[in-house]
Amino acid sequence: MARRQLPIWQSLPVIAALGALGSLATVMPRELEVRLGRALGRALFRRRLFKRAVIEANVARCFPGLDRESRQSLIRRNYEHYGVLLFEFMHFFSPIKGHWRGYVPTAARAEGLDHWAKAHARGKGVIFFGAHLGSWEAGAAALALRGVEATIVTTVLTPRWLHEKITAARASVGMQAAFHPGSMSAVMRTLRRGGAVAFMNDQYAPPPMGIPVTFFGTRVDTLSVIGPLARRTGAAVLPICTFRAQDGTTVARIEPEFDLGAEPEDAEAITQRVAGRIELWVREHPEQWLWMHRRFKNVAASPV
């Protein structure tokens, strides 16, 4: 079923509000933005907003050994991260043309570019995988500004004006997009010409896109495209870990080429290895993951 598009007149108050917030973000010093974002996050935490029940259930499932006080501390820090993230997203709505391109270097930096250069030089394409950690949008943009041209596989946003606004900001730093469903033809064209594509592998993905593998001890449907694409095209697979440093800056770190294992024909084994790497990242930076996402759909509830 197609998503319902709101008439533009119904969106005008939201457009006006986002424009005002975008204008405020445009002139706000980065240090102040981080401080206010964390304060906003603490206020949202106290008011139990942003799918709090989902967050608490996910944290309880993934970290059953934490006592209640430790879980609440983790969730509070997660909300502080969301607060900074909200301020960062407001830069998409700046009234100044090209603002996102100028803002990104103040909010994110790229590392591991030598791994990209080595894989890209082989000429068979590159498959990136990442997760919703840190400021993933700013991290991806920082890589693009350093010459890592990649087509991200994503969804069409609604309403249409929001989709066009964010797509334009991404394009301003050199990021292209392939929208699913129906993204595979664009993905294959990109890889065949030696380009790069990027997938987010930390979200729920039902069949036929996903298969069940273990993530934090739970068998859950997970995007399974990495192995078949690498096998079919010969493309290198590179993990990208994005995480927020202590000063609030997001680091987008390209890791060495991913080992597909001894059985490159086994899609489930490769998907499990990818899920394992992402779980490792989340364990290293648990306060920065998107815990509000319903990652564990269609599985038994976890006790809180």
Question: Does the pLDDT value for residue 4 go beyond 60?
Answer: no
Q: pLDDT band at 1, cuts 50/70/90?
A: very low
**Is residue 185, in this structure, part of any structural domain at all?**
yes
Going by C-alpha positions, the residue among 278, 285, 284, 139 that lies closest to residue 295 is: 278
Question: Does the pLDDT value for residue 104 go beyond 50?
Answer: yes
Question: Does the pLDDT value for residue 294 go beyond 60?
Answer: yes
**Is residue 297, in this structure, part of any structural domain at all?**
no
Residue 234 in 3-state DSSP?
coil
d(CA 187, CA 198): 9
Amino acid 40: pLDDT: 97
pLDDT tens-digit readout, 31-62:
999 999 999 999 999 999 989 999 999 999 99
Q: Which amino acid is at 74?
A: L
Average predicted confidence (pLDDT) for the chain: 93
Contact assessment for residue 237 and residue 259, using Cβ atoms and an 8 Å cutoff: no
**Is residue 55, in this structure, part of any structural domain at all?**
yes
**Is residue 182, in this structure, part of any structural domain at all?**
yes
**Is residue 304, in this structure, part of any structural domain at all?**
no
Tell me the two tokens of residue 142: 């920082």
| CATH code for the domain in which residue 224 is found | 3.40.1130
d(CA 240, CA 18): 30
CB contact set of 185 (below 8 Å; sequence gap of 6+): none
pLDDT tens-digit readout, 17-26:
999 999 999 9
CA 210, 211, 212, 214 dihedral sign is negative
Amino acid 261: pLDDT: 77
**Is residue 115, in this structure, part of any structural domain at all?**
yes
When divided into structural domains, the chain yields a total of 1
Tell me the two tokens of residue 191: 């890889």
**Is residue 302, in this structure, part of any structural domain at all?**
no
Length of the chain as a residue count:
304
Question: Does the pLDDT value for residue 5 go beyond 80?
Answer: no
Strands (E), the chain: 108-111, 126-130, 151-155, 176-180, 196-200, 210-215, 218-223, 236-244, 250-254
Q: What is the mean pLDDT of residues 68-94?
A: 97
**Is residue 1, in this structure, part of any structural domain at all?**
no
pLDDT tens-digit readout, 227-256:
999 999 999 999 999 999 999 999 999 999
d(CA 264, CA 81): 37
Q: What is the mean pLDDT of residues 96-117?
A: 97
Domain containing residue 236: 14-288
pLDDT tens-digit readout, 71-82:
999 999 999 999
